[in-house]
Amino acid sequence: MKRREEMTFWEKIYLPEILKGLAITSYHLTRNLVLNTAHLFGLAKARRAYTTVQYPEDRKYYPDHFRGSHRLTIRDDGAVRCTACYLCATACPAQCIYIEAGQSPDPQVEKFPVRYEIDTLRCIYCGLCVEACPCDAIRMDTYVHPRIWGYDRRDFVETKEMLMHRSRVLTEKGRDGNMQEMLAWYREQEAQVYNPERPELKTYTERDRPKHYADPEPSPELPALDRRQGRIKSELEQARRLREEAQSLLGEFERKAREAESEAQAIVAGAKAEAERLATEAKSRAEDFVARRTKMAETKIAQAEAQAVADVRSAAADAAVAAAEKILATSAKGKVAEDLLARGIAEIRQKFN
């Protein structure tokens, strides 16, 4: 439904709205006056006048589906059914449930709530805690509304004993038992709060606790809790010894870690020195190898040059000899030619070689 953002002219001048409100109030006043007067004379019994419930003297009857104050259900042995699984506290949108878990003395149950408190000033009575509980440990079927009396925040914090007490009252006195106890408690507090000698004192700091909460019934879990306390002390002592051993082992581990670190650093330093030495040797060997290969190449080049020169000279000598033979053969004949030719060839060969 969208709300009108602008008022009409008659709404802006306010007077018609004031008259309308006065008319509604006058109608209810006149109707109640006429009907109550008629009821005195036995008339109009079928028509019910508007009434105000004079609480706490009078009270309304709550239906079965009414979500009232919480209660913790109890097992057959009198122990609380809650296993301190924290699902109700997790599901609570107002974060008003506080649970302190402890190990249960029952071997069949892992945990139980040492403390279970509900801050009713924060609670919105949505019922999500009831829906979230997997073991039906919390309910809101007490048929009683939350307490509305108190000047101290602690008066509105419901403890585990109070929540368990409601389950016992519901079993023993029925659905009206918790309401009757709360109304009786209201009357007790009304008599205790006002101190005639100190009219300014309007708190609960000097009041007595409610009778049914003052001396809570002894829980069957207390002897087991005492035994559990001794076991917890021994476990704490054992945990202390284990902690000392763990600290000693930790110191030994740290010492070995430091030694391993220094050894690793020495190994790394040695590896670096060895790598530098090998690099120097490799560089020297490479330089020697290059020098030898260079010298061998130069030697081979010189030999090739010398061989080439020798080959050229030999070829030139052979050509000169052949040319000389041909010339002398045509110009000189006989023994003189032969001697001349032989002597010339020998001289040529001697000069070229």
**Element (DSSP H or E) covering residue 158:** strand 157-158
- Mean pLDDT on 77-99: 93
> What pLDDT, in 10s, does the model give residues 9-32?
888 888 999 999 999 999 999 998
Confidence check: pLDDT of 317 > 50: yes
> What pLDDT, in 10s, does the model give residues 263-283?
999 999 988 999 998 988 988
Q: What is the pLDDT of residue 2?
A: 64
Confidence check: pLDDT of 341 > 70: no
> What pLDDT, in 10s, does the model give residues 199-232?
544 444 444 444 444 445 555 555 556 667 777 8
Q: What are phi and psi of 247, to 5 degrees?
A: -65, -40
> What pLDDT, in 10s, does the model give residues 62-71?
888 899 999 9
Half-sphere exposure of 107 (CA within 13 A, CB side): 0
CA distance 245 to 237: 12
CA distance 298 to 104: 100
Q: What is the pLDDT of residue 3?
A: 64
Q: Map out the domains of the chain as residue ranges.
A: 9-40, 71-215, 308-352
CA distance 147 to 189: 12
CA distance 185 to 56: 11
Higher local confidence (pLDDT), 54 or 240: 240
Confidence check: pLDDT of 262 > 60: yes
Mean of pLDDT over the chain? 82
What pTM did the predictor assign? 0.48
Q: What is the pLDDT of residue 171?
A: 92
**Element (DSSP H or E) covering residue 71:** strand 71-72
Q: What is the pLDDT of residue 353?
A: 59
Q: Which of 1-15, 125-139, 247-261, 281-295 has the lowest mean pLDDT?
A: 1-15
- Mean pLDDT on 96-108: 90
For domain 71-215, which architecture applies? 2-Layer Sandwich (3.30)
The SS3 assignment for 17 reads: helix
Q: Which of 85-99, 187-201, 280-294, 329-343 has the lowest mean pLDDT?
A: 187-201
The fraction of the chain above a pLDDT of 70, given in percent, is 81
Q: What Rg value do the Cα atoms of the chain yield, rounded?
A: 59
Q: What is the pLDDT of residue 319?
A: 79
CA distance 284 to 64: 103
Q: What is the pLDDT of residue 81?
A: 92
